[in-house]
Structure 1
Amino acid sequence: MYRIYINDTALIIADFMPANIGSCQQIDVQSFDFREFYKQAKKGTPAIHVMVTKDPKRMFRKLRKPFTLIHAAGGVVKNEANQYLFIFRKGKWDLPKGKLDDGEKTKVAAEREVAEECGIKVSEVGGKLCKTWHVYEDKGQVVFKKTVWYNMRAKNQKLIPQLEEEITEARWIAPGEFSTVKQNTFALIKDVLSLIEV
């Protein structure tokens, strides 16, 4: 199953109708035009769309092929007080992440981005938590961004937000206070948070 985000609209591509996703609109595979879907989703209200197809991988590759692919990596960082690291960027709560440098390994990039964006040293980079897909425009071109997320650990350190990346705050937040984040974040980030074992 693939879940592609355009702002807070999700396009799910699967070989079955997923359960527990709430209200959704089913998409006809035959007449689907991704560019038109992107235009509508970009300016429309948040919604969940589902495309059921026999071969989700093939369909996803077909949709993605005409567009530039950007690789990124990020961290879901937990400290010894069972708090998680969040950043506040451009008016929304987010998780630290960023694009891979040329030739850089995903895991290395994830650790580097956390260090740069929050001014901390990561003590442990664990396994992959998930990967997410986000579609947006960069210099007038529609791009697909694939972000690989890693579980990480760090000591409770002073946080220094990377202001040049428009990060105005970095904060340790306990799971009991995630509602603050969820009220003002992206649907993609909510999905990543749903995978955290608290």
Structure 2
Amino acid sequence: MFIKIYFNDKPLFLCDEFNEEINGYAHHDDAVFIDEFSSAAVNSMIHEMRQEKVHAGIYYHPKLNELQKAFWKKFVLVKAGGGLVLNENDEILFMCRRKKWDLPKGKLDKGETIEECALREVKEETGLNKVKLKKPLTVTYHTYDENGKHILKESHWFLMEATGKQEMKPQVEEQITELRWTDQKQVGKMLQESFPSIVDVFQSAGYDVK
């Protein structure tokens, strides 16, 4: 098993075994590999992942849950929920935020479940009202700094369906400039101008992302 954490667009794999995806990065000259388990080694990997020259990181430990706990201690965990939304024509909803094609998501509010969060955020960011949650897809992780703190965002993704003909309105205060229903044949093209974590969401839903 493995957990993939993005530092900007660079993947760090926390793993207890190797698979085809991880092996694809293992032989890169600019990939970092660590198998020593200590707080200092965790700090070292985090430092390396922030270097421009580093392409990817692989941190191996036979007990993945222990490695995960050690990493989580270094960050403030922020949970979020989001959706891959289809309409009745099987078109996919993309939104443009900061000149990238993205999917609607946002932070978990106190007192709500992650499913409630995902539905609320989709509705708030798109203006859609009739949205049904179909099934969970995957969880993605990425890091960023905010107010001097190291944040690890844990985003829970769900497949959703928007029913009927609905008007949409982008949430401009969230820097969303466009909403677009997209034919499934165009997914690969749209993802070329998206984020690696969003590519992972589509892969988890069974889409050909090439």
TM over 0.5: yes
Cross-structure match for 2:197: 188
2:182 to 168, 173, 177: 173
Cross-structure match for 2:120: 112
1 CA distance for matches of 2:137 and 2:180? 21
Cross-structure match for 2:17: 16
Q: Deviations over 1:144-179 (max 9, x none)?
A: 111111111003533211001000011111221012
Matched, 1:5 2:6: yes
Deviation at 1:71, TM superposition (A): 0.9
Distance 1:81 1:14, change over 3 A: same
- After TM superposition, the structure 1 = structure 2 runs for residues 45-124 of structure 1, keeping only pairs within 5 Å, are 47-124=55-132
How many residues align structurally?
A: 198
2 CA distance for matches of 1:175 and 1:35? 41
Confirm or deny: 8 A CA contact 1:7 1:186 kept in the other structure. Answer: no
2 CA distance for matches of 1:143 and 1:20? 25
Distance 1:91 1:33, change over 3 A: farther
- After TM superposition, the structure 1 = structure 2 runs for residues 137-156 of structure 1, keeping only pairs within 5 Å, are 137-155=145-163, 156=165
Distance 1:93 1:36, change over 3 A: farther
Equivalent position amino acid for 2:75 in 1: F
Confirm or deny: 8 A CA contact 1:17 1:50 kept in the other structure. Answer: no
Confirm or deny: 8 A CA contact 2:16 2:62 kept in the other structure. Answer: yes
Equivalent position amino acid for 1:10 in 2: P
Deviation at 1:30, TM superposition (A): 1.7
1 CA distance for matches of 2:167 and 2:62? 50
- Name the SS for the 2:34 alignment partner: coil
Q: Deviations over 1:24-60 (max 9, x none)?
A: 3351222764445444434526733222210111101
Q: Deviations over 1:65-105 (max 9, x none)?
A: 13211010001111111111111101111110000111111
Confirm or deny: 8 A CA contact 2:102 2:194 kept in the other structure. Answer: yes
Question: What do you get for the CA RMSD once the two structures are aligned?
Answer: 1.9
Distance 1:13 1:161, change over 3 A: same
Cross-structure match for 1:197: 206
Equivalent position amino acid for 1:87 in 2: M
TM-score in terms of structure 1 length: 0.91
Cross-structure match for 2:134: 126
1 CA distance for matches of 2:53 and 2:189? 22
Deviation at 1:180, TM superposition (A): 2.6
Equivalent position amino acid for 1:27 in 2: F
Confirm or deny: 8 A CA contact 2:91 2:181 kept in the other structure. Answer: yes
Equivalent position amino acid for 2:36 in 1: Q
- Name the SS for the 2:66 alignment partner: helix
* 114-123 or 14-23, larger mean C-alpha shift: 14-23
* 45-54 or 63-72, larger mean C-alpha shift: 45-54
- Name the SS for the 1:12 alignment partner: strand
